[in-house]
Structure 1
Amino acid sequence: MDYYVEAISVKKRSYKTEVYRIRPLKELLGDLRLSEITPKHVVAYRDRRLATPNPKNNNLPLANSTVKLELMLLSHVFSTAVMEWGMESLINPVEKIRKPKAPPGRSRRLTPQEEKKVLGAAFRHPNHEFFAIVALALETAMRQGEILAIRWENISWAKRTVFLPLTKNGDLREIPLSRKAYIVLHDYMTPAREGRVFGYTSSGFKSTWRAFMQRLEIKDLHFHDLRHSAISSLLERGLNTMEVAAISGHRSMAMLRRYSHLLAYKLVEKLDPKPKRKKNRPILRDQLPPYPALITHYSNCVVVDFPDFHDLRVGASKEQDAIERAKGILLRKVVGILCDGYEPPTPSFPDSIGVPSSKSRIEMISPI
């Protein structure tokens, strides 16, 4: 096993993970030669590991998927010994045993309300990079490691793309940037000629995300679930599976299907498409609807937040002043979106917005 680490694992991107995964194999099978390991030994290892308490929660056993990955690694050790180490007579005992059944893949994605809540809170996070990372995950379907590894010299502002020279599956990939993703990198961040875009390390960002979720009191939401949400959103926007796979980097349609969790109500219009209406000049008033605002009274000020616009927050010493200022800023925001040729977001239903405390209330505010 030590030789496998030195000769094989060290060449893999998953080197650290593999070293960690080899520890129990060495501990429970390390006193045996490869030629001495039989299916009986592997079955005993499997059953013992399945009964081992989970280090993250001692009330639960190790996940089936964890034990299955360890067995797959052991199987690869045998395959490598046969093909590369001159041990042609060796028989792989892992192939002869029943593997733990892997659980179904996660189907968690953000609800529309959760997405607004997450983006709004991320925008107010003390580290401005945190919001940019969250927004890019939802717009590009990139993995956490891919986002943290983005370099300024790999961004093409003219083509509006990000080049990823190294991805999880080893392929090169070029990611198209949506308008929102472009604004995040070009306007929200401070572009440079070269170097890493983000200063977060992988472990540092994971710790920040855990604390962020606890503060928002959102249950069972992993950062990787944002990738699920982004892929589903791309499919709902009308991109076909080949186009989405080119963005997400999936090699097989089976994996892509596992990651896509389409919202049924967004598919209704595709089942019964509305007849195309003649292009008439839209009525401006209809494009400037009232939006729900969260009005919160603090000891020395009143703050107005718009859940449909994560970057709109207005404060003043008096409520009426705060509301008047909020109207003006809301108007400029909506008109700016219209001038860019895009549709403003559909106002949320007031009942769908959670009121955080007795000091807050929801009120509809019109920009005109």
Structure 2
Amino acid sequence: MRGYDPESMTFSTRKAAKEWIEATEADIRRNLHRKMPGAGVSVAQALDQWADDAQHRIKSFDQDALKIVKLKAWSIELGRRTNGEALTGPLGDQPIDRLSPAHIRALAASMRVKGLAPNTIRLYMAVLSRAWNHVMTDTAFRNPVESADLRLQLPKRVRRLEGDEEKQLLAACLGGFDRVVRFAIETAARQGEVANLMWRDIDFAQRSALLRRTKNGTDRIVPLSQPALNVLRSVPHVDGDGSVFGMTAGAMKQRFADATRRAGIVDFHFHDLRHEAISRLFENTDLTD
């Protein structure tokens, strides 16, 4: 019956099978069988329940919150009429326990038609998968997102500074923002990690910095090169143990975009500084010993 975990049994006769079915359904009506987790919960409700739990744990939840809104309203193909006409409806209205791999594949196909990149689709699917796992606990059903086996092909992005681009980029950074860019290149720190850096996290004696709230949720210590130390010593230190660079990750993203535009550099984002830093590290490391 809908809303309960599937059960099966093998019988030697049709009569015995029918009697077992009738007895099982009678037990369900008397609430003697455990109701399946997620029964009666819509996809929209499942997304909201997961959001209530995750918003205090996930650093980048604001981005997930936007995806939740769009997922609820996204129209997907639910099936076909006898004349072949597609039946569609909002994903959010569908019962979470009835969500199937076919629905997921239809959702992914619809996103492709709308022009979403494979990595963007993957991020949407990750949110939906987490919501399903949050609600459908201890059930015999398999996560439909995992079962759909979408095999999204994610293009590898390789973009480094070329020619005089680094010089042009630094020259286009206004108001001391070049310090942020130089520090990111020297440490391979992510945008959010640079924005969250506090003076109390800098150990000049040990030539290291503690990066808090990293992408995987843990803190990590990175060594500071002499150029990185020089950058830090050039930053006005007027706020005690406050923020080193004094700006949010969003502000950094905008100022970096402004700088690349002024420098005439195209298709280069803040995260590419991390690729640049890691590439330089390997290029400057002797692996022959």
**Under a length normalisation based on structure 2, what TM-score does the superposition of the two structures give?**
0.72
Q: Which amino acid aligns with 1:189?
A: V
One of 3, 9, 16 as aligned partner of 2:62:
16
Higher relative contact order (CA 8 A, sep 6+): 2
Q: 2:187 touches 2:277 (CA, 8 Å); kept in 1? A: yes
Q: Which amino acid aligns with 2:153?
A: A
Q: Runs ≥4 in structure 1, deviation > 6 angstroms? A: none
Q: Does 1:177 align with 2:239?
A: no
Deviation, structure 1 residue 100: 4.9
Deviation, structure 1 residue 104: 2.2
Report what 1:291 is aligned to.
none
Summarize the alignment of residues 318-329 of structure 1 with structure 2, pairs less than 5 Å apart.
none
Separation of aligned partners in 2, 1:239 and 1:171: 30
Separation of aligned partners in 2, 1:8 and 1:199: 27
One of 81, 85, 93 as aligned partner of 2:144:
93
Report what 1:120 is aligned to.
171
Q: 2:159 touches 2:268 (CA, 8 Å); kept in 1? A: yes
CA deviation string 1:299-344 (max 9, x = no partner): xxxxxxxxxxxxxxxxxxxxxxxxxxxxxxxxxxxxxxxxxxxxxx
Cα distance change on mapping 1:171 and 1:239 into 2, 3 Å: farther
Q: Which amino acid aligns with 2:51?
A: V
Q: 1:156 touches 1:162 (CA, 8 Å); kept in 2? A: yes
Report what 1:263 is aligned to.
none
Report what 1:40 is aligned to.
102
Cα distance change on mapping 1:31 and 1:121 into 2, 3 Å: closer
One of 145, 150, 158 as aligned partner of 2:197:
150
Q: Which amino acid aligns with 2:70?
A: P
Deviation, structure 1 residue 239: 6.3
Q: Which amino acid aligns with 1:98?
A: D
Report what 1:49 is aligned to.
111
Separation of aligned partners in 1, 2:286 and 2:67: 38
Q: 2:193 touches 2:212 (CA, 8 Å); kept in 1? A: no
Q: Which amino acid aligns with 1:91?
A: R
Report what 2:80 is aligned to.
none
CA deviation string 1:188-226 (max 9, x = no partner): 112353111122222222222222111111111111111
Q: 2:235 touches 2:245 (CA, 8 Å); kept in 1? A: no
* CA RMSD between the two structures: 2.1
Separation of aligned partners in 1, 2:54 and 2:64: 10
**Under a length normalisation based on structure 1, what TM-score does the superposition of the two structures give?**
0.57
Note the residue ranges of structure 1 that are not aligned, 5 or more in a row. Answer: 53-60, 241-269, 271-368
Summarize the alignment of residues 210-225 of structure 1 with structure 2, pairs less than 5 Å apart.
210-225=257-272
Deviation, structure 1 residue 9: 3.9
Q: 1:79 touches 1:92 (CA, 8 Å); kept in 2? A: yes
Deviation, structure 1 residue 81: 2.5
Number of matched pairs: 226
One of 126, 147, 155 as aligned partner of 1:72:
126
Note the residue ranges of structure 2 that are not aligned, 5 or more in a row. Answer: 1-46, 75-90
Q: Secondary structure at the match of 2:56?
A: helix
Deviation, structure 1 residue 107: 0.6
Deviation, structure 1 residue 17: 1.4
Q: Secondary structure at the match of 2:209?
A: strand
Separation of aligned partners in 2, 1:119 and 1:211: 12
Q: Does 1:63 align with 2:125?
A: no
Summarize the alignment of residues 130-279 of structure 1 with structure 2, pairs less than 5 Å apart.
130-186=177-233, 188-192=234-238, 193-238=240-285
Q: 1:68 touches 1:100 (CA, 8 Å); kept in 2? A: no
